[in-house]
Structure formats: structure tokens, C-alpha cells
A = this chain, B = another copy of it.
């Protein structure tokens, strides 16, 4: 096998650390691993495979002699440095929003549209966590019975906003429990014991960027440019694990039993659905698991040929697995 020089950009962030954990656990066959981050984090030591690795500052020079670079930092880092990595010969798997909607960049969830990978031009985009879990639950149904429209309301954990957001939830929860006032920093308003219908910036049409992304990314992933998806994306005081209430209209009738059967066979999906014993996915239980968990599948009483379900996944874990599965597919196809 050829040697495989890999770098992770944003290695010290929540997404980066999750990626390292899973590269290790899945025994990703790398020859060497570079950890890159902003100058603030440079000099930190992280463990990988029982070995300490020093985090280096992300610069153009740091991106040479690499075969594969995971970008797990924000859009800023991807925009500034991904083309350098590509010019220097690497393939980039980008977890930021930078390239997702670029027509020439494949946006891939391996369980859903692995075939799109073959047209890649050395940059492959991985979708937002919210999109990944939604399409993993919808695509297995869409394939046999095309979806006409969907309404999605999300219950997204603070980890999607990074480590500082998780700390803010802890600090604020303590302050509220002690009867103290709270001053928000990471979020616009108090997050502890509160609900905020604001994730990412607002667009001209009243949707947030996060809500719009779900619609656009899902349409691209499922090759259905006209797919009508309306989302309400909402932050809830949960550390890890995003939940979604999804109401779907299909082209033809579909019943809950059939949907459960199709989902149970879908790769990466786990059906947990037994109301009699209050069995349904919950973020507290789902955190730390690999699968997209689906429950509360029922006939929708408002939409024609409608189905409703409750979908929960570990947002960090699912994002990392998605990026690594893209890398594994590149390897299998000899593209690295």
C-alpha cells in the first residue's frame, strides 16, 4: 500500500477531536498524522494511538507533502487554505459549509449518494450534521416512494456551536440553579433552561442559514432539485445529540410498518420504536453512538400520503463518521 500522509485542520476543536477519536477507533490506515490549528492552539499536545502529537499552526507551508486533509475548522480556514492543500497534491474533505453548494464539489453522505464521489476534483464536502441525519432517515424511503415535501423542526444541542458553547451551558445552568442572573457570550440569549429559534445568521427571507442549508443540501444529496423542505432550526439546552421532528409527504401511500422495515434495512440507521414501553430515541441516550436513530414512526394526519417520525443522532459523531467514510471510499477506489 502507498504511504498516506494525513492532516486534520481544526484538530483541537470539538469536531477535530471527534475525528481523531474515530480515525483511531476505525484504524484508519494512515502513515503519519499532522494536527493543525490556529496559532492560539499551536503547541498543544494531543494523543493519537497512544502517541503525543504537537499541534502546529495552520499555514500554507504546513499543508505540503500531504495526501489527505480533513478540514474540521470553520469556513474561514477552509476558504483560506483548502486550495493550497489541493495545489500541494492533497485531497480535501471539508466539513465546513464553504464548498457544499458549489456545483463542481460533490456533497456526499456515503450511505446516500456515494456514487457522486467519482466526479470529485480533489475537494469533497461533508454536509451539516442536521442534514446528514435527516437524509439518512429520508433517503431509504425516498428511493422507493419519492418525497414531495417535508416539514422539519429541530432540537439541536449546543455542541454544534463548539466547546465554548458547551461550557456556557454548564456555567449558565449552575448560575440559574443558584438563582443568579446570566450573561450570554456564545449565544445571543440565555441557553440554559431556554429555547432559541436561531442557528447561524438570518437570511433576507426570514429563514436562518442553518434552515436553508438543510433544504439545499438535502436536495443536492438526494438529486431532487425541487424537493420542498421547510425547516425550523432550534437550539435546546442539551450537550450532545440533535433531534428532529420530521413530517413528510410522499408521492404514493406509505404505512408506518413499511417505513420501519425499509429503515431497519438502511445502513447506519437504527429503528427504536415501541411506544408501549416508551421506547424512542433521546439525545441523552444517543450521545456516543454511531447510528441515526428513528422512532415514533406514524401516519401523518395533515399531509397526503404522510408520515411523521422522530430522528436523533450524535451530531459530532455522525459528522466525523461521515467525513471518515468519505476518506475510506476514496481509499477503496484508489483515489488517495
Which of these, B173, B177, B236, contacts A195 with CB under 8 Å?
A: B236
In the complex, chain A residues 226-253 whose Cβ is within 8 Å of any chain B Cβ = 228-230, 232, 234, 236-239, 241, 243, 245, 247
A284 contacts B by Cβ under 8 Å:
yes
CA distance A298 to B204 in the complex (A): 10
Q: Which of A33-41, A74-82, A116-124, A275-283 contacts B (4 or more CB under 8 A)?
A: A275-283
Q: Least Cβ distance of A177 to chain B in Å?
A: 6
A256 contacts B by Cβ under 8 Å:
yes
A19 contacts B by Cβ under 8 Å:
no
Tell me which residues across on chain B come within 8 A of A197, comparing CB atoms.
243, 245, 280, 295-296, 310
Give me 22 A-to-B residue pairs in the complex whose CB atoms sit less than 8 angstroms apart, sorted by A's number: A150-B302, A151-B300, A155-B195, A170-B177, A173-B173, A190-B284, A193-B237, A194-B283, A194-B284, A195-B236, A195-B238, A198-B278, A205-B299, A206-B275, A206-B297, A206-B299, A207-B298, A207-B301, A230-B247, A230-B301, A232-B247, A234-B245
Main secondary structure of the interface of A (DSSP, over half): mixed
List residues of A whose CB falls within 8 A of some B CB: 149-151, 153, 155, 169-170, 173-174, 177, 188-190, 193-198, 202, 205-207, 215, 228-230, 232, 234, 236-239, 241, 243, 245, 247, 256, 275-276, 278, 280, 282-285, 295-303, 306, 308, 310, 312
Tell me which residues across on chain B come within 8 A of A245, comparing CB atoms.
153, 197, 232, 234
Closest 6 CB pairs of A and B: A206-B298, A153-B153, A230-B302, A232-B245, A202-B275, A194-B284
CA distance A150 to B303 in the complex (A): 9
Residue of B whose beta carbon sits closest to that of A247: B151
The oligomer's copy count stands at: 2
Residue of B whose beta carbon sits closest to that of A280: B197
Q: Least Cβ distance of A330 to chain B in Å?
A: 34
CA distance A198 to B274 in the complex (A): 12
Tell me which residues across on chain B come within 8 A of A283, comparing CB atoms.
194-195
Tell me which residues across on chain B come within 8 A of A190, comparing CB atoms.
282, 284
Tell me which residues across on chain B come within 8 A of A150, comparing CB atoms.
302
Tell me which residues across on chain B come within 8 A of A230, comparing CB atoms.
247, 300-303, 306, 308
Tell me which residues across on chain B come within 8 A of A173, comparing CB atoms.
173, 177
Residue of B whose beta carbon sits closest to that of A300: B230
Q: Least Cβ distance of A104 to chain B in Å?
A: 25
Q: Least Cβ distance of A253 to chain B in Å?
A: 15
CA distance A153 to B202 in the complex (A): 21
B193 with A238: CB separation less than 8 A: yes
A301 with B155: CB separation less than 8 A: no
Tell me which residues across on chain B come within 8 A of A237, comparing CB atoms.
193, 236-238
